[in-house]
Structure 1
Amino acid sequence: MLKLLNKTKQLVYPAIRSISNNSSVLASAQQSNEAVESSDTSASPEIPQRPALILPQNYAEYTPVNKNSARQAWIENTDAVKERKVGIIELHPDVFAAQPRVDIIQENIEWQRKYRYVSFAHTKTRAEVRGGGRKPWPQKGGGRARHGSIRSPLFKGGGIAHGPRSPTTHFYMLPFYKRVLGLTSTLSVKLAQDDFHVIENVDIPTRDEQFIKDLIAERNWGPSVLIVDKNDIFPENICYATDNLGYVNLMPSFSLNTYSMLKHDTLVLTIDAVKHLEERLLYQLHRNDAAKTGGKFKLDQV
């Protein structure tokens, strides 16, 4: 039995904690697997190849509330239309397995829709309406009610009392943790609904938009796709390929928001974007000066 176990091919999977260059990670993993295959010539060829890129989660700095609820996602390729699983990534449960608070998601959506909305509805007061400079009739002796101007709100064609005055802003700020929980809840919902995908990078081999169309159709990414990378400068090919596609949008990870994630059916993140989002959201969830950060947005009400 021991001889049989010794003859079994053992694959080596490097424990990668930080990602600097995806191509170098894949190359090192493949070299290690080839070294093991060459050293063990008696291995059976029927054993299937497992993904070479495995990215485990580092729980040293931020310990999750429930480590048993850890999530994983496949890493997909972008160098061809045909789908190929190039690895697997472990996601932090505090970010991608949070309790889906639908009420907080709704509050975030309402906040994002209103804080950029400015109402330009405008009405004129009795001082701004044209005409009505003289007293319409004498104060006494006519038996009529007392009036000083025909542009009073009581008259037709007069000013409007308590009407809307432009510009009127609807800006307000949500509490700090409601904004953070809105992001974690939406990311968790996207992952639970299988609308969350992780790719190696955004480097595609061509700038033809038909490549993106075939990619979306082949992988069932949904009617609208949001592609997120860590940096705000995207490669030239993907910019040209998605320029005329209104249902495919590019966004850096520091601009990711609840409204954009729910507006698109499918959320596609690169490995660097996933790590960046986890780093920033975990920091915000564990910071102890949240009240101070939102203090400048509070209005003094006497």
Structure 2
Amino acid sequence: MLKFLNKTRQLLYPNVRNLSHTVTVCQSNAATESTTTTGKETLVSKPALILPQNYAEHAPVSRSTARQAWIENVDAVTERKVGLMELHPDVFAAQPRVDVIQENIEWQRKYRYVSMAHTKTRAEVRGGGRKPWPQKGMGRARHGSIRSPLFKGGGVIHGPRSPTTHFYMLPFYKRVMGLTSTLSVKLAQDDLHIIEDVEIPTKDAQFIRDLIQERNWGPSVLIVDKHDVFPENICYATDSIGYVNLMPAYGLNVYSMLKHDTLVLTVEAVKHLEERLLYQLHRNDAASKQTKFKLDQV
């Protein structure tokens, strides 16, 4: 199995016929070698997973930038590599456009912000109903109310009126590029980890704390799965931990990925993200998404 993993050239340029045979041989070898006896207990681990990338539907721009990541276990605190997954270079090896990432952050911060600053006009200020002095004869300037903007305590001209929204829509492909750039940056900085699933063996929050400390996952962790219904154990375990959050794959965004130090994806979440992002990058009606934003645009 180790010899196969070292041959990255064969994994980067997979031959369907030879690869399927190699995978079956590696899995059979791993199954025979994984049965070990330690004292009174016999530990039988699952065969190692080798998940190659399928380039048949969406060919990458450059195969020389292919990326691979280990699949880790979550059934115990001790780290164990249970497989190897090849990541699509168009999603996880994109050009890190820091300017596009910054535009996504500004967009996400502003589209949900509503300013409540409010000033009163001369019609809303209390008092000033009568004319302060006669129109003529006193040698003074003509005024109709002491609540005019010219007077102290009067109304405000062109002041802020609440609620004021700062909503605007970022271009569609800048949003897509923001996701691919952020995922690529997370992987390049070794802040992206892939796990089998989110099935942990206990509801105890200490298990998650020990897991994060053992894996060096940083001060804050975002765990992403394909589905929005998470198992009961991980929901109870992370409920009292403020720096660990759960999120479905359809809600993944640039702001949340950068807000958390470590991004943890399940295998299903990785496949789902690759499928959706590759579809957007290679869709036939891309020109229609570059037009002015409409409310029914998805």
TM-score range, shorter chain: 0.7 to 0.9
Q: 1:158 aligns with which of 154, 157, 161?
A: 154
Contact 2:173–2:290 (CA under 8 A) maintained in structure 1: no
In the superposition, the TM-score normalised over structure 1's length comes to: 0.83
AA in 2 matched with 1:209: A
Deviating beyond 3 angstroms after TM superposition, the runs of 4 or more aligned structure 1 residues are: 28-31, 34-37, 293-296
Tell which deviates more after alignment, 130-139 or 286-295.
Answer: 286-295
Contact 2:218–2:262 (CA under 8 A) maintained in structure 1: yes
- Name the CA distance, whole Å, in 2 between partners of 1:298 and 1:226: 31
Superposition pairs for residues 98-177 of structure 1, below 5 Å?
98-177=94-173
Which residue matches 1:67? 63
Query: What runs of 5+ residues in structure 1 fail to find an aligned partner?
Result: 1-8, 16-27, 38-48
User: Number of matched residues?
Assistant: 265
Contact 1:176–1:290 (CA under 8 A) maintained in structure 2: no
**Structure 2 SS opposite 1:228:** strand
AA in 2 matched with 1:73: A
| Partner deviation per Cα, 1:68-110 (whole Å, 9 max, x = no partner) | 1000000000000000000100000000000000000000000
AA in 1 matched with 2:262: T
- Name the CA distance, whole Å, in 1 between partners of 2:211 and 2:127: 66
Does structure 1 residue 210 correspond to structure 2 residue 210? no
Contact 1:129–1:158 (CA under 8 A) maintained in structure 2: yes
Tell which deviates more after alignment, 285-294 or 112-121.
Answer: 285-294
AA in 2 matched with 1:136: P
**Structure 1 SS opposite 2:202:** coil
**Structure 1 SS opposite 2:190:** coil
- Name the CA distance, whole Å, in 2 between partners of 1:30 and 1:80: 24
Which residue matches 2:76? 80
Which residue matches 1:3? none
> CA offset at residue 294 of structure 1?
5.7
Contact 1:29–1:53 (CA under 8 A) maintained in structure 2: no
- Name the CA distance, whole Å, in 1 between partners of 2:78 and 2:180: 31
Q: Give the root-mean-square deviation of aligned CA atoms.
A: 2.4
Does structure 1 residue 183 correspond to structure 2 residue 176? no
Identity across matched positions, percent:
82
> CA offset at residue 59 of structure 1?
0.3
AA in 1 matched with 2:228: D
AA in 1 matched with 2:274: E
**Structure 1 SS opposite 2:245:** strand
**Structure 1 SS opposite 2:239:** coil
Which residue matches 2:229? 233
**Structure 2 SS opposite 1:74:** strand
- Name the CA distance, whole Å, in 2 between partners of 1:281 and 1:166: 38
Which residue matches 2:85? 89
Contact 2:111–2:166 (CA under 8 A) maintained in structure 1: yes
User: Cα 1:10–1:197, aligned 2, differ >3 Å: closer, same or farther?
Assistant: closer
Query: What runs of 5+ residues in structure 2 fail to find an aligned partner?
Result: 5-10, 12-23, 34-44
User: Cα 1:209–1:34, aligned 2, differ >3 Å: closer, same or farther?
Assistant: closer
